[in-house]
Structure 1
Amino acid sequence: AEHLIKLYNLVNSEIYGKVAIKLHTGEKHGPNILPRDLVQALQATIPNSNIVETNTLYEGDRYTTESHQETIKVNGWTFCPVDIMDEDGSVNLPVTGGFHLKEVAMGKNIVNYDSMLVLTHFKGHAMGGFGGSMKNIAIGCASGQVGKRQVHGIEGEPPADWNAWPAKEKLMELMADSAKATIDHFGKRITYINVMRNMSVDCDCAGLSAAKPTIADIGILASTDLLAIDQACVDLVYSHHRDNHDLVERMESRHGLRQLTAMAEHKMGNTQYELIEID
């Protein structure tokens, strides 16, 4: 927690007012989600802050607001308010120059916040290849029953088999569109932390069925640049030659690296970065 707080203080100069901490709170008893005490220690240092989430498109532990609130309690996110932003519906945020979308329906309460900290558990993802800061806001801020259909490119009822959902390059481009709507909304008042620990090939939305991590923990990254932080995390995974096979295979087989090039084309950050180690 000491290092997490130290890193946050290096990238929080533009964060003020009411602060949304965008966190993936996970399905019930998820084995790889961020430690509650770690997040609690950080949140306690951020005045006027709380965790924000949205409901899911798939029928799981966070499908309805009621079941989502119960899951939040089970997983121990009880030390501060958790705002399920789409509890009362959606608000449309514009996408400027999007690949596929002109607007995205976000959880209605997103407009109640002045700033956002995107606190992400970096890991693999069944459809996205990997889940970094971009995925956290692209899918995580979109409303469960409207916005998430848009981001997944689904009209009407989603197919029962998610393998039938749009994927690969189109999904990555849709996610970039959605993330762009959020970062354009907050402007400079958004910053990013990626925690590279317990990196299963599966997302925290997999819950107890998530595969066990096969790559060693790497550390915590912080940046004010969305593309740079996800690029750096991917680069660090590739640099772990001894044990990165499973996670690299997941990223490449899902065409997940298109997330990075799509962000670059949208001018959502810089692929060039300096990796500064903090003691």
Structure 2
Amino acid sequence: MGSTVWFAPFEDGADEGTVCRRTREVFAAAGLGAVVPEGAITAVKTHFGERGNDSFVSPACVRVVVEEVKRACGRPCLVETSTLYRGQRHNAVDHFNLAVEHGFGPEAMGCPLIFLDGLRGNLHVERPVNLRHCETVAVAGDFTLIPAAIIVSHFTGHVLSGIGGAIKNVAMGLASRAGKLRQHSQGRPEVQAADCIACGTCAQWCPEDAIMVGQAAHIDEGRCIGCGECVSVCPVGAIDFDWNAPAATFNEKMAEYAYGILGDKRDHVGFVTFLHRVTRHCNCMGTKGEKVCPDLGVLASTDPVAIDQAAVDLINGAAGRDLLEEVWPGAQYTAQFAHGEAIGLGSRRYALERV
């Protein structure tokens, strides 16, 4: 038996008021208020965007979700975790200041803002899963204390996984730094020296100081953690992954992390995903990315696999081809869904209900 995904379409370039209204309508249609126990602290997990990025879900739309949690008699708080790479989200202090800068401050949102993995991303709880790739998952520590959550995702492409949606938002966004590192530990990028202009941008962004720049950049394989930031920031495309081996493994690890992180609170988690300003790169990039497809609408479900599958189907259906495979060839993004379904994270089969 499949899951249900609700879809509230809107026109390409719809104004913020329309997107907010459709968000409220799809939240209600999906009955996401029912996942919130009365009086329960409820995490609203979103992504505040890196400095210089402007394609994240708008604060006004996230505030709609906060208000709906309050309407359901929950006690909402915005939550996030620290990143692996250098930038404005590497620790809780700078991340908080960036969130405020981007409009997500507590006064604007009407709820507290909490970093679940501590000051520097080191607070975590090991949760056993005993799956193909992971025996345990390193969950952001304070997420284990929160009884309910609404996962607000901006669907995008992604340099490693091909796509970033609800599964990635949970798997990476609610893992501690150790958990993020373990998920990234398989693949390694390679520099094409003939194309490299030795600008040093990759070295500036590398979280492990694994890149040295002479006549061309060189990656120390012993220090590289495979996070992919160098691939994302290279201005001339001189760094890339060997997609033959690690891509499916990375996506399967993310499915296992999402499964372990959600754990026994799966009946108290809802998902809202925006097919709005869909870009090639995720919101971790400090740039203003161009859209790869028209704006389509906003989705809601209680199944992370189904909502991501529906997002892919809608985007590719509108394009009339596998657009997401074209954006990141060889990333094997469907491994998230296939493995997620196999381990019980959710279902690829779904009924789409238009709102």
Instruction: Report the 3-state secondary structure (helix = DSSP H, G, I; strand = E; otherwise coil) of the residue aligned with 2:290.
Output: coil
Equivalence map 1:119-130=2 (5 Å):
119-130=152-163
Instruction: Report the 3-state secondary structure (helix = DSSP H, G, I; strand = E; otherwise coil) of the residue aligned with 1:222.
Output: strand
Q: 1:246 to 1:207 in 2, by over 3 A?
A: farther
* Preserved contact between residue 251 and residue 257 of structure 1 (Cα < 8 Å): no
The share of aligned pairs that are identical, in percent, is 24
The one-letter code of the counterpart of 2:22 is H
Q: Distance in 2 between matches of 1:19 and 1:251?
A: 34
Q: Distance in 1 between matches of 2:35 and 2:96?
A: 30
Count of aligned positions: 275
TM-score under structure 1 length normalisation: 0.91
* Preserved contact between residue 56 and residue 62 of structure 1 (Cα < 8 Å): yes
Residue among 245, 262, 279 paired with 1:183: 262
Q: CA deviation at 1:112?
A: 2.5
Q: Once the two structures are superposed, what CA deviation does each residue of 1:62-110 show, in whole Å capped at 9, x if it has no partner? A: 0122211121111110123221111153232424242211112222111
The one-letter code of the counterpart of 1:22 is K
Residue among 14, 33, 56 paired with 2:35: 14
Which residue does 2:164 correspond to in 1?
131
Residue among 277, 295, 301 paired with 1:223: 301
* Preserved contact between residue 124 and residue 141 of structure 2 (Cα < 8 Å): yes
Equivalence map 1:120-199=2 (5 Å):
120-144=153-177, 146-153=178-185, 158=225, 161=230, 163=240, 167-199=246-278
* Preserved contact between residue 29 and residue 75 of structure 1 (Cα < 8 Å): no
Q: 1:77 to 1:112 in 2, by over 3 A?
A: same
* Preserved contact between residue 271 and residue 301 of structure 2 (Cα < 8 Å): yes
| Pairing 1:115–2:148 present | yes
* Preserved contact between residue 215 and residue 247 of structure 1 (Cα < 8 Å): no
Q: CA deviation at 1:217?
A: 0.6
The one-letter code of the counterpart of 1:83 is I
* Preserved contact between residue 305 and residue 348 of structure 2 (Cα < 8 Å): yes
The one-letter code of the counterpart of 2:172 is I
Q: 1:266 to 1:245 in 2, by over 3 A?
A: closer
Worse overlay, 58-67 or 5-14: 5-14
Instruction: Report the 3-state secondary structure (helix = DSSP H, G, I; strand = E; otherwise coil) of the residue aligned with 1:31.
Output: coil
Q: Distance in 1 between matches of 2:308 and 2:292?
A: 20
The one-letter code of the counterpart of 2:225 is P
- Larger CA Rg, structure 1 vs 2: 2
The one-letter code of the counterpart of 2:351 is E
Q: CA deviation at 1:232?
A: 0.7
| Pairing 1:232–2:310 present | yes
* Preserved contact between residue 301 and residue 307 of structure 2 (Cα < 8 Å): yes
Q: Distance in 2 between matches of 1:69 and 1:86?
A: 13
Residue among 80, 87, 92 paired with 1:65: 92
Instruction: Report the 3-state secondary structure (helix = DSSP H, G, I; strand = E; otherwise coil) of the residue aligned with 2:163.
Output: strand
Q: Distance in 2 between matches of 1:252 and 1:198?
A: 21
Higher relative contact order (CA 8 A, sep 6+): 2
Q: 1:167 to 1:32 in 2, by over 3 A?
A: farther
Q: Distance in 1 between matches of 2:270 and 2:280?
A: 25
Q: CA deviation at 1:7?
A: 1.8
The one-letter code of the counterpart of 1:139 is M
Worse overlay, 8-17 or 245-254: 245-254
Q: CA deviation at 1:21?
A: 0.7
Which residue does 2:118 correspond to in 1?
87
* Ranges in structure 1 where 5+ consecutive residues have no aligned partner: none
| Pairing 1:275–2:275 present | no
Q: Distance in 2 between matches of 1:225 and 1:75?
A: 29
Q: CA deviation at 1:214?
A: 2.6
* Preserved contact between residue 11 and residue 224 of structure 1 (Cα < 8 Å): no
Which residue does 1:106 correspond to in 2?
139
Q: Once the two structures are superposed, what CA deviation does each residue of 1:196-218 show, in whole Å capped at 9, x if it has no partner? A: 0000011000121x530131011
Q: Once the two structures are superposed, what CA deviation does each residue of 1:154-195 show, in whole Å capped at 9, x if it has no partner? A: 696636745569840111011111101122231201111111
Q: Distance in 2 between matches of 1:77 and 1:238?
A: 31
* Preserved contact between residue 140 and residue 175 of structure 2 (Cα < 8 Å): yes
Q: Distance in 2 between matches of 1:150 and 1:81?
A: 30
RMSD: 2.2
Instruction: Report the 3-state secondary structure (helix = DSSP H, G, I; strand = E; otherwise coil) of the residue aligned with 1:72.
Output: helix
* Preserved contact between residue 53 and residue 83 of structure 1 (Cα < 8 Å): yes
Q: CA deviation at 1:51?
A: 1.0
